[in-house]
């Protein structure tokens, strides 16, 4: 994959790119100030390097686009077309653009007809990105991406991408750095801390660290450019499906285990060659004895309690104890220094060696579980304190990430408290419907009837007359 650096239509950006040794430029004609009385030679201005031309999607000046392309077509490596322009007269240099995320049918048609298609960033979504790769692979199409998002670039097999975000280091003070494993972009508010953190990475890229710390524009821009170039070389230097030499290995084997079916011959002259369809035998089935446990897990045998009995002498005897295999965690890491993403900063790095650190973990008892949870809480407290220290040093006001870490700390403490709570709790939930009461629902109808009866069976007739005789009629005494 090739990276074309956008923004080269501006003289200041072009000078930065040329001084950094860039050989691929992308010109946005919409922002290019074409001189009216002076004839420009693009090959001389860009020192004979590769140039790709494109426009902004809101550019409606068709005549300007057509006249510029016809005048400088010999100096341009590729020309990305407009949806309303037919550029087939350019031959292999013309690349149609697809910018409608909902019209996958048109993308399929362009892939089939031209063999090379440019895709706008706004047409790529999380829903269709996988389908885009499938369509391109189906027709053997080379894709040109107008995007600066590393995650999008890594998910699609691009032939080339146009990257403009490197200029954010100049415009907004961003820090863009390649650490050997990923390309990081940091806002200007974090430039002091992140530049110190990536000191070794900056020096490894051949950039003046002191100039970057002093926030010199040329040095920060040079860091961003070299980071994108290093990221391009690191991630996309592998096997190329379109390489003819690599395809020579797919020939008819003696035992007919691999068969090459040639693709169709209906490709237009400007289309890229299609990838041949390869048919292979189903995977070989392994015997059960050949399969082993995943290295990160282990098996441990635990002796279970058998039947307890007492012999004639009164001694306790255990009968038929059983060996039960249980799963356990294997603390021996498989990491190797050569492939570890911390290799550039690890104090124990040693080439062609396994990891020098081990982390034996065993949680079998309640005390071990409490110790592990306490260690996690202490670790989180340390993160909160360090984040608070960073907030004071940066002096940029309240840090939302610090507030989030504090909330996470209280959540951990609350969960720790709930796990250690060993109180017994009994809760009844009773629902009574109709004429039945709560006691009837719990203990039956007789219990409900018994609860409604008076003590000692209540009063008979004689008892009721005696009670009425003792009642004083206040109305008669008043007369």
pLDDT at site 184? 87
How far, in Å, are 246, 248, 252, 281, 409 from residue 255 at the CA level? 21, 18, 8, 11, 63
286-298 pLDDT tens trace: 888 888 877 777 7
pLDDT at site 247? 42
Residue range 249-261: average pLDDT? 45
- Tell me the pLDDT of the chain averaged across its residues: 79
Compute the distance between CA of residue 155 and CA of residue 133 in angstroms, rounded to an integer: 8
Share of the chain above pLDDT 90, in %: 13
Residue 186 clears pLDDT 60, i.e. is over it: yes
pLDDT at site 51? 92
Residue 472 clears pLDDT 70, i.e. is over it: no
Tell me the whole-structure pTM to 2 decimals: 0.50
Kindly indicate the confidence band of residue 452, based on its pLDDT and cuts at 50, 70 and 90.
low
Tokens of 219: 């040095």
pLDDT at site 365? 84
323-342 pLDDT tens trace: 778 777 777 767 788 777 67
Give the residue carrying structure tokens 């693009």.
42
pLDDT at site 453? 63
225-250 pLDDT tens trace: 999 988 888 644 333 434 444 444 44
Residue 88 clears pLDDT 80, i.e. is over it: yes
127-131, 138-142, 384-388, 448-452: which range is least confident on average?
448-452
pLDDT at site 379? 92
Q: Which CATH number fits domain 2-235: 3.30.70, 3.40.50, 2.60.40, 3.20.20?
A: 3.20.20
54-63 pLDDT tens trace: 988 888 888 8
Give the residue carrying structure tokens 């992308």.
26
Compute the distance between CA of residue 19 and CA of residue 27 in angstroms, rounded to an integer: 17
Per the model's pLDDT, the better-predicted residue between 439 and 344 turns out to be 344
pLDDT at site 151? 79
pLDDT at site 407? 92
DSSP of 136-164: HHHHT-EEEEE---HHHHHHS-EEEEEE-
pLDDT at site 280? 55
pLDDT at site 276? 47
Per the model's pLDDT, the better-predicted residue between 437 and 212 turns out to be 212
**Contact status, residue 176 vs residue 205, Cβ threshold 8 Å:** no
Residue 461 clears pLDDT 90, i.e. is over it: no
Share of the chain above pLDDT 70, in %: 78
Residue range 303-324: average pLDDT? 74
Residue 36 clears pLDDT 80, i.e. is over it: no
Domain range summary for the chain, segments of one domain joined by +: 2-235, 364-422
**Contact status, residue 438 vs residue 430, Cβ threshold 8 Å:** yes
Residue 261 clears pLDDT 60, i.e. is over it: no
Compute the distance between CA of residue 299 and CA of residue 66 in angstroms, rounded to an integer: 71
Residue range 48-57: average pLDDT? 90
pLDDT at site 87? 87
Residue 381 clears pLDDT 90, i.e. is over it: yes
Compute the distance between CA of residue 445 and CA of residue 432 in angstroms, rounded to an integer: 13
Kindly indicate the confidence band of residue 455, based on its pLDDT and cuts at 50, 70 and 90.
low
pLDDT at site 219? 92
Kindly indicate the confidence band of residue 380, based on its pLDDT and cuts at 50, 70 and 90.
very high
**DSSP code of 147?**
-
Q: How many other C-beta atoms can be found within 10 angstroms of the C-beta atom of residue 328?
A: 14
Residue range 82-87: average pLDDT? 84
Tokens of 183: 């390309």
Per the model's pLDDT, the better-predicted residue between 105 and 344 turns out to be 105
**Contact status, residue 7 vs residue 15, Cβ threshold 8 Å:** no
Kindly indicate the confidence band of residue 387, based on its pLDDT and cuts at 50, 70 and 90.
confident
Q: What element of type H or E holds 374?
A: helix 366-394
Kindly indicate the confidence band of residue 38, based on its pLDDT and cuts at 50, 70 and 90.
confident
**DSSP code of 121?**
G
């Amino acid at each position: 994959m090739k990276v074309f650096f956008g923004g080269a239509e501006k003289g200041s950006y072009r000078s930065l790119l040329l001084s950094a040794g860039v050989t691929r430029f992308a010109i946005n004609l919409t922002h290019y100030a074409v001189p009216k009385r002076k004839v420009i030679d693009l090959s001389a201005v860009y020192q004979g390097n590769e140039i790709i031309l494109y426009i902004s999607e809101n550019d409606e000046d068709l005549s300007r686009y057509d006249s510029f392309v016809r005048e400088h077509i010999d100096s341009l490596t590729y020309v990305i077309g407009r949806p309303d322009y037919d550029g087939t007269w350019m031959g292999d240099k013309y690349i149609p653009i697809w910018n409608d995320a909902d019209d996958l049918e048109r993308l399929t048609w362009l892939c089939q007809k031209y063999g090379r298609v440019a895709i706008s960033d706004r047409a790529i979504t999380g829903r269709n990105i996988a389908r885009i790769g499938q369509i391109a692979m189906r027709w053997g199409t080379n894709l040109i991406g107008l995007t600066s998002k590393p995650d999008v670039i890594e998910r699609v097999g691009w032939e080339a991408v146009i990257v403009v975000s490197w200029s954010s280091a100049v415009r907004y003070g961003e820090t863009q750095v390649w650490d050997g494993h990923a390309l990081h972009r940091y806002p200007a508010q974090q430039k002091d801390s992140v530049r110190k953190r990536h000191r070794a990475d900056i020096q490894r890229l051949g950039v003046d660290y002191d100039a970057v710390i002093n926030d010199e524009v040329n040095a920060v821009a040079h860091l961003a450019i070299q980071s994108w170039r290093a990221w391009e070389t690191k991630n996309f230097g592998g096997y190329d499906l379109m390489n003819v030499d690599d395809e020579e290995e797919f020939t008819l084997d003696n035992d007919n285990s691999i068969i090459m079916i040639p693709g169709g011959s209906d490709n237009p002259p400007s289309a890229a060659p299609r990838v041949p369809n390869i048919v292979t035998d189903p995977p070989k089935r392994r015997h059960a004895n050949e399969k082993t446990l995943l290295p990160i897990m282990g098996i441990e045998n635990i002796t279970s309690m058998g039947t307890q009995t007492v012999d004639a002498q009164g001694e306790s005897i255990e009968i038929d104890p059983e060996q039960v295999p249980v799963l356990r965690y294997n603390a021996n890491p498989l990491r190797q220094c050569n492939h570890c993403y911390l290799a550039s900063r690890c104090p124990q790095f040693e080439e062609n060696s396994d990891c020098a650190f081990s982390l034996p973990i065993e949680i079998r008892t309640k005390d071990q579980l409490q110790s592990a949870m306490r260690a996690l809480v202490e670790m989180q407290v340390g993160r909160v304190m360090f984040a608070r220290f960073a907030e004071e040093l940066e002096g940029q006001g309240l840090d939302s990430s610090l507030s989030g870490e504090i909330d996470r700390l209280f959540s951990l403490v609350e969960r720790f408290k709930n796990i250690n709570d060993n109180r017994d709790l009994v809760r009844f939930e009773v629902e009574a419907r109709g004429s039945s009461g709560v006691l009837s629902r719990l203990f039956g109808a007789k219990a409900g009837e018994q609860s409604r009866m008076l003590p000692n069976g209540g009063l008979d007739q004689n008892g009721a007359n005696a009670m009425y005789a003792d009642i004083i009629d206040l109305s008669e005494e008043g007369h």
